[in-house]
Amino acid sequence: MPEVLSAPLVVEFPFTRSLGPVQSAFLTGLRERTVLGVRTVDGRTLVPPVEYDPATAEELRDLVEVAATGTVTTWAWNPSPRRGQPLERPFAWVLVRLDGADTALLHALDAPGPDAVRTGMRVRVRWAPERVGAITDIACFEPYESEEAGQPAPHTGEFTDPVTGIVAPARLDYTYSPGRAQAGYIEALADRRTVGERCPACRKVYVPPRGACPTCGVATDERVEVGPAGTVTTYCIVNIKAKNLDIEVPYVYAHIALDGADLALHGRIGGIPYDQVRMGLRVEPVWSEGGRHPDHYRPTGEPDADYDTYKELI
């Protein structure tokens, strides 16, 4: 059993969303220290507001302003905050029904400990010093003894320079392990060898191996060394330069059937003008210094392969 391979894998993206009229008004309002809700047809005030009634799906546009004070409807004490959460020290997650609202907003409550939190306690918004039009413009809630204040007041929802979109950065960290078959492939590449696996049922050799024959649905188990040379089965000419890719265009991207393999893999063709690449061209891998896979494939100089020898792999 070879050592299990693993490597860090980070998935990170700016999640960019446009806002509808109601969400735009709400998030712009937060920037201006104003909390807006939306009225339903039956007279309830939803905070945070939504554009369609959760019960009837009716369109909602009737904005109202509610207070920045409210009451905790339920809570949970978080002793170990995780990355991205509103506070770095222990805090309470809370659902807060703001005065004038009929529904509750999820956020964090800054409190010294769980004994200082209870359902029904009075709290108020602590605004972030710099606000951009996002839910994080509310830094958190803080305890605040006060009487419950009044009714929601009508609001146009209009502000100068309204926020029309948000960017919510997302980052997830993984430790990726490729599994048995792919680990064997990667380990062989370290010795500049290419291995596939043979299906016990149909005898086809798959490269790179993924551990299963996609035709028979059984585990592939017999490791087979293939290549190093192979045949171009089909190709395309790339004319657009990809971002961060240090390859001059045009270049040729090809399917290459390595000798002994029953599945073509992908590779770039070099060492030959792009307009002279052809089906049947015999190629071999070129490794760069310290590279963990072939940098590209170049012609071997052999005569072209006969069409019948690779037609099933196109």
Partner 1 sequence: MGPARDVAVVAFAQSDHRRRTDELSEVEMLMPVLHEVLDRTGLKTSDIGFTCSGSSDYLAGRAFSFTMALDGVGAWPPIAESHVEMDGAWALYEAWVKILTGEADTALVYSYGKSSPGEVRDVLTRQLDPYYLAPLWPDSVALAALQAQALIDAGDTDEPALAAIAARSRDSAAANPHAQVRGSRPQGDYLVRPLRTGDCPPVGDGAAAVILAAGDAARGLCERPAWIRGMDHRIEAHGLGVRDLTDSPSARLAAERAGAFELPHGLKGTGGAPTVDTAELHAPFSSQEVVLRKALRLDGTVRVNPSGGALAANPVMAAGLIRIGEAAAAIHRGESDRALAHATSGPCLQQNLVAVLEGEPS
Interface positions with partner 1 (CB under 8 A): 1, 4, 6, 9, 11, 15, 17, 19, 23, 27, 46-48, 50, 54-55, 73-79, 82-86, 93, 95, 97, 103-108, 114, 119, 134-136, 166, 168, 170, 172-182, 210-219
Q: Which one, 213 or 232, has the nearer CB to Zn ion?
A: 213
Question: How much of the chain is in helix, strand and coil states, percent to nearest 5?
Answer: 10, 40, 50
Cα–Cα distance measured from residue 44 to residue 38, given in angstroms and rounded to the nearest whole number: 8
* Least distance to partner 1, CB of residue 55, Å: 8
Interaction residues for Zn ion, span 141-170 (CB under 5 A) = none
* Least distance to partner 1, CB of residue 239, Å: 25
Q: Which one, 214 or 271, has the nearer CB to Zn ion?
A: 214
Contact flag: residue 219 with Zn ion (CB under 5 A):
no
Q: Which one, 204 or 293, has the nearer CB to Zn ion?
A: 204
Q: Which does 224 bind (CB under 5 to 8 A by kind): partner 1, Zn ion, none?
A: none
* Least distance to partner 1, CB of residue 213, Å: 7
Candidates 34, 43, 72, 71; CA nearest to 148 is 71
Tell me the residue type at 82. R
Task: Determine contact, residues 94/75, Cβ cutoff 8 Å.
Answer: yes
Contact flag: residue 216 with Zn ion (CB under 5 A):
yes
Q: Which one, 202 or 245, has the nearer CB to Zn ion?
A: 202
Cα–Cα distance measured from residue 230 to residue 224, given in angstroms and rounded to the nearest whole number: 15
Q: Give the 3-state secondary structure of residue 145.
A: coil
Task: Determine contact, residues 27/33, Cβ cutoff 8 Å.
Answer: no
Candidates 189, 216, 191, 192; CA nearest to 204 is 216
Candidates 174, 175, 245, 172; CA nearest to 15 is 172
Contact flag: residue 205 with Zn ion (CB under 5 A):
no
Q: Which does 76 bind (CB under 5 to 8 A by kind): partner 1, Zn ion, none?
A: partner 1
Task: Determine contact, residues 71/148, Cβ cutoff 8 Å.
Answer: yes
Q: Which does 139 bind (CB under 5 to 8 A by kind): Zn ion, partner 1, none?
A: none
Which residue in the set 56, 215, 276, 309 belongs to the binding site for Zn ion (CB under 5 A)?
Answer: 215
Q: Which does 73 bind (CB under 5 to 8 A by kind): partner 1, Zn ion, none?
A: partner 1
* Residue 208 preceded by cis peptide, ω within 30: yes
Q: Which one, 41 or 219, has the nearer CB to Zn ion?
A: 219
Cα–Cα distance measured from residue 50 to residue 38, given in angstroms and rounded to the nearest whole number: 7
Q: Give the 3-state secondary structure of residue 22.
A: helix
* Least distance to Zn ion, CB of residue 202, Å: 3
* Least distance to partner 1, CB of residue 21, Å: 13
Residues at the site binding Zn ion, with contacts judged by CB under 5 A: 199, 201-202, 213, 215-216
